[in-house]
Homo-oligomer: A and B are copies of this chain.
C-alpha cells in the first residue's frame, strides 16, 4: 500500500489488465505541446506576446524553429493568425491564443508553480501571480466540484461510463 498515489477503482484496480496507451489524454496533449519550444511559445502567448519577432527573442528560438512551432500550434487550433500592418511595412501576422490555447493555462501555470517551488533560487518565483480583481495570490489547484482540495491520495480514477443513448 502506498499513500503516495491515486486510487484506482473498478476495472482499473489491477494495473496488469490495462494500459493507458495512445488514448491517454496526457499522451495526446504531449503530441501537440510536448516540446520545450511549444510549451514556451504558449507561455509567451499567455503573457500577451503575439508577434513573430517577439516569440523568437523571448523564447530564444531560431526563426526556423519558431516558424515551424507557430505553424503547428496554429494548425492544431491553439493559436489564430491575424494580419496587421505597420506604416510602410508589408502585411505581417500576429498569433493570438484561441480558447483551446488559453485552456492550457492550468497546465503551464502548474509547471510554473512547481518550478518556482522546487527549482528556483530560494524557492522564490521571479514573478508574483495575483488576482487582478482582489489582489490575492494565485495558485493552481486540484479541486472537486464540492470545493474540496483533492490531494493525490484522495483522487479516485475509474473508467468513464459510456454516455447513455436516450
Contact = CB atoms under 8 A, between A and B. Distances in A.
Interface residues of A, number: 96
A68 interface: no
Given A25-B112, A103-B114, A134 B119 contact: no
A150 to B, nearest CB: 5
The majority secondary structure among interface residues of chain A is: mixed
A155 B138 contact: yes
A101 to B, nearest CB: 8
B27 A40 contact: yes
B34 A125 contact: no
A34 B36 contact: yes
Nearest to A127: B157
A41 to B, nearest CB: 11
A61 interface: no
6 contacts: A15-B58, A19-B57, A107-B114, A132-B156, A133-B154, A136-B145
